[in-house]
Amino acid sequence: AQTVTQSQPEMSVQEAETVTLSCTYDTSENNYYLFWYKQPPSRQMILVIRQEAYKQQNATENRFSVNFQKAAKSFSLKISDSQLGDTAMYFCAFMKPYNNNDMRFGAGTRLTVKP
Amino acid sequence: GAVVSQHPSWVICKSGTSVKIECRSLDFQATTMFWYRQFPKQSLMLMATSNEGSKATYEQGVEKDKFLINHASLTLSTLTVTSAHPEDSSFYICSARDRGGWSYEQYFGPGTRLTVT
């Protein structure tokens, strides 16, 4: 079974600074997908960024980028120029590209951006 | 596009009664829908996967007779919590996979907060 580990239960960052959230996973698969989701107080899950394991290039979406280290099974999220609206729970997720594509989530990191 | 709705957003029911939660894909057809449960300050736990027209696949430890899932159409899946008890109080989230879009994208509903008194 795939497991996803987020070792930082809580983090804080000053507005405009950069913060990195960690995620590691365990799998024997070679092909899979990784995601970072944001869950603000409204509890609506919002896709931040996704990475296909077969792509060596790290995904980027505006201020959000990942550091994908396949051999190390590591998938960290970097948020640049942090904004107050980035305050939320962040979940790392793993998905296999078959068997219904169900998604497994890490425990989450609560990020607080301080003014 | 790719909007998923849930109804109701919040429900209170008495212990022993049943409650139904609807999950709809509003602007796309969903071949597969997923149901998650989230306890306060915890992560999402997959409860079951439902494919249109077939029986749901439940995760280990999830009582299929207690959490009835029906995926009768490509835009609607329902979760019925039968004989609810206070320990069933939780936040329930559904997600749906777009049959016509990027194969592995899941779109999440806004969630339903269930309180059993």
Please write the tens of the pLDDT for every residue from B2-30.
899 999 999 999 999 999 999 999 988 88
Classify A101 in phi/psi space as left (phi over 0), alpha (psi -120 to 50) or beta. Answer: left
| pLDDT confidence bin for B102, thresholds 50/70/90 | low
Classify A97 in phi/psi space as left (phi over 0), alpha (psi -120 to 50) or beta. Answer: alpha
Specify the pLDDT at position B11: 97
Residues of chain B with Cβ-Cβ distance to A101 below 8 Å are 32, 97, 103-104, 106
Specify the pLDDT at position B52: 83
Task: Return the percent helix, strand and coil in chain A, to nearest 5.
Answer: 5, 50, 45
Q: Record the tokens describing residue B4, joined without a space.
A: 């998923």
Q: Is the pLDDT of residue B103 over 80?
A: no
- Contact criterion met (CB below 8 Å) for A108 and A20: no
Least CA distance to A94: which residue of chain B? B104
Contact across the interface for B104 and A43, Cβ inside 8 Å? no
Q: Record the tokens describing residue A111, joined without a space.
A: 């990020």
Residue among A43, A91, A100 whose CB faces B111 most closely: A43
Cβ density class A50-64: b for 16+ within 10 Å, e for less? bbebeeeeebeeeeb
| pLDDT confidence bin for B41, thresholds 50/70/90 | confident
Which regions in chain A score pLDDT beneath 70? Answer: 1, 99-101
Instruction: Determine the length of chain A.
Output: 115
Contact across the interface for B51 and A42, Cβ inside 8 Å? no
| pLDDT confidence bin for B105, thresholds 50/70/90 | confident
